[in-house]
Amino acid sequence: MTFDMMAALRDAWGLFRRNADLTLRLAAPFLFLPTLAVGLLVPAPPLPEEDAADGAARAMAWVDSVGNWAGQYGGWYFATYAIGLIGTAALLALHLGGGRLTVGQALNVSLRIAPRFLLAMILVALPVGAGMLLYILPGLYVAGRLLLVGPILLAERRMPALAALARSFALTRGVGLPMAALASCTYLGGMILGQPFILLIDTVQGSGGNPVAIALLQTGAAAVALASGVAQALIALAAYRRLVSR
């Protein structure tokens, strides 16, 4: 069974071009501003210490520091994640509406399904994250097979979260590799484009922390997050439309 990945990418670009203004107006408060606020106001998670002699002791110290950090700041990161998912659901509702929905109506749709959408995306993130930690390719394969969960929840109403995951696997049967390639466009693309900003932020903070430079770099990192989130939503929707009609 064939699936034209490039055609799906062209469809996603066409979706953006037709509603670029509404898309950016809707995405900015949910995908850009929360990411920027967290980057500027909340400390990043701690990294392992390089100078510890005992590897086991270093690992335990790092786990303890991450636990303390999560207790203080983890809620802000989760809130940013949840707000971003509400915005993603609204983007999908807006484009599925074919121009019939206003931004307010799309947000209303996303809020109605927010608990189910959040649960489904957490269920997607767990296997994808585990696959990425083990080896990148298995993570991308799982991400591709589950890429359609968001559009499914918006297009096929009243579907439970687990059923949406199963439906995504069913729709992508036989096209796992092209779907993994699509997923890599946003997963790897976002990581690669965002990495220079992260490295530069660490460098500036390590040399005294010029607040203007840090603000500009955090703005760039948030813009990458915005672009990656919008691209993933539109690519998923374009792929869903092609696969559901085959």
State the Cα torsion 94-100-104-108 to the nearest 10°: -70
Mean pLDDT calculated for residue range 141-145: 94
Q: Alpha carbon 227 to chain centroid distance? A: 10
Question: Which two structure tokens, joined as six digits, stand for 174?
Answer: 């036989």
pLDDT tier for residue 9 given thresholds of 50, 70 and 90: very high
pLDDT for 10 equals 95
Q: Which two tokens stand for residue 143?
A: 């991400």
Residue 201 reports pLDDT greater than 70 = yes
pTM, 2 dp:
0.89
Q: Where are the domains of the chain?
A: 5-114+176-244
Say how far apart CA 134 and CA 138 lie, in whole Å.
8
**Averaged pLDDT for residues 6-21:** 93
- Of 33-37, 52-56, 153-157, the range with the lowest mean pLDDT is 52-56
Inter-CA distances, 41 with 6, 156, 200, Å: 39, 38, 17
Question: Would you say 175 and 164 are in contact if contact means Cβ atoms under 8 Å apart?
Answer: no
Position 52 pLDDT exceeds 70: no
Position 54 confidence tier, pLDDT thresholds 50, 70, 90: low
CB 235 within 8 A of CB 182: yes
C-alpha span between 246 and 229 (Å, rounded): 26
Q: How confident is the model at residue 46 (pLDDT cuts 50, 70, 90)?
A: confident
DSSP-assigned letter for residue 44: P
What is the pLDDT at residue 153?
95
Give the mean model confidence (pLDDT) for residues 9-19. 94
CA–CA separation, 148 and 160 (whole Å): 14
Locate all alpha helices (DSSP H) within 97-148, ordered by sequence. 103-112, 114-134, 136-145
Per residue in 115-134, pLDDT (tens digit) is: 999 999 999 999 998 888 77
Q: What percent of the chain has pLDDT over 70?
A: 94
- For the cut 70, the answer to whether the pLDDT of residue 1 exceeds it is no
